[in-house]
Structure 1
């Protein structure tokens, strides 16, 4: 087990607004974390710092043992898998699914003049099969449904065997069937001893896959709670973070939340 992310008193300020406020947090390679919190709490900013896409204004951020600000980010970023809606928007709509995944080897989002070995192509096909996407290999990315695009993004993120996997709201906007299919796949992946450390941002406890081990709650840029998932995803803790009496239930590793009866 090794530390894949360590934030020490990290503050992020943009245009005079403090987005993260003295955040300290450590993630080990065997842990699968979910980040929740109200809108504007700083969840996506946390992920951008972890992805080495944003520098802290104050404090230190060590990603895979490398300190942001004193390391070549172009060497660090390929070791990090990152899937997000913003990343999906950068993929050309005309790109084939196999090429969307394959180009992760060069950390680019569109096929150009790169040369790939047969080993890379086989690896991309295998990853697509693992995420139940083989039948879409030659389809254009822009023709896929939201659920299919989300899974292609995750397949791309794991293509290079990352040491840290970051997922920004992977189940957002999906219908019930697509969401459950994705969470089933994510749960299986998270439960594998060979999976990297995982951090996932979501707005809803119903979108936490089984197999996730820890949770962090953010509120107004500060850590409201962090620790083993069963100690953090509770009625009392979530009610305090969201400012509303909530009842949280857990069954077989899946959570639900609703407003408490008054």
Structure 2
């Protein structure tokens, strides 16, 4: 079952072509990594999916919603997003499970009445993804990695069908990044869990949970396929426009410039 279908999609803003001729299909539970350098169009592609940007040309369908034909507001409630930019929206004194519960209302604070049952649901979700050690903690006292894990739990409160992780490991040290990637594995094991779209410019973050890779360069799809097909020295050297070496260590892909 296809949950995202793009056919010849273009996006132009202020007479500048941001995305050009995007053809891409995502199947349910087919977790993807979108890999590209800064300025490649990754965030613009995501905003098209979330209906924050509007395609200029082409055909776009997300979760059965055809852009330009069907109603969009209902679609936004089916997509969760996690990114370091969201972390700044919350008061530092909010309790962890209260923050998770705000995901249900797409707010930064709990402006509506809530019950102990609601909080128990938030705590249960935290336990499901391995964040139970954060229950009862104050948001402002958490590390950056702990905050990101909490935001992931928050995004799951609406039971999204698609979960977008936009540079989710930004600002994390080596060990915090590894712990966060391990927690993402828990999400892929959830019954009726979301399809993940993981945006990064670090190939070493592509774990075995991700079955497909989309290479995006200069607003165009450069290549796509399974990690073994795409993450080769030949393809990546062409993609980065400079010779690179690829080393696979513990199923992680480490890409480095080749020394002349």
- Name whichever of 169-178 and 50-59 sits farther off: 50-59
C-alpha separation in 2, matches of 1:133 and 1:191: 15
Aligned to 1:123: 121
With the length of structure 2 as denominator, give the TM-score of the two structures. 0.92
CA deviations on 1:16-60 (whole Å, 9 max, x unpaired) are 221111111110112010011121000111112122322112223
- 5+ residue gaps, structure 1, are none
- Report whether the alignment pairs 1:139 with 2:120: no
CA RMSD in angstroms, aligned pairs only: 1.9
1:211–1:253 Cα contact (<8 Å) kept: no
1:51–1:166 Cα contact (<8 Å) kept: no
> How do 1:136-175 and structure 2 match up within 5 A?
136-175=134-173
Aligned-pair distance for 1:193? 6.2
Aligned to 2:237: 239
- 5+ residue gaps, structure 2, are none
2:65–2:71 Cα contact (<8 Å) kept: no
Task: Decide whether aligned partners of structure 1 residues 94 and 52 sit closer, same or farther in structure 2, where only a CA change above 3 A counts.
Answer: farther
CA deviations on 1:147-186 (whole Å, 9 max, x unpaired) are 1111111111122221111100111221111011111111
2:131–2:150 Cα contact (<8 Å) kept: yes
With the length of structure 1 as denominator, give the TM-score of the two structures. 0.91
- Report whether the alignment pairs 1:177 with 2:172: no
Aligned length: 260
Aligned to 2:65: 66
| SS in structure 1 at match of 2:17 | strand
C-alpha separation in 2, matches of 1:192 and 1:252: 24
C-alpha separation in 2, matches of 1:143 and 1:241: 41
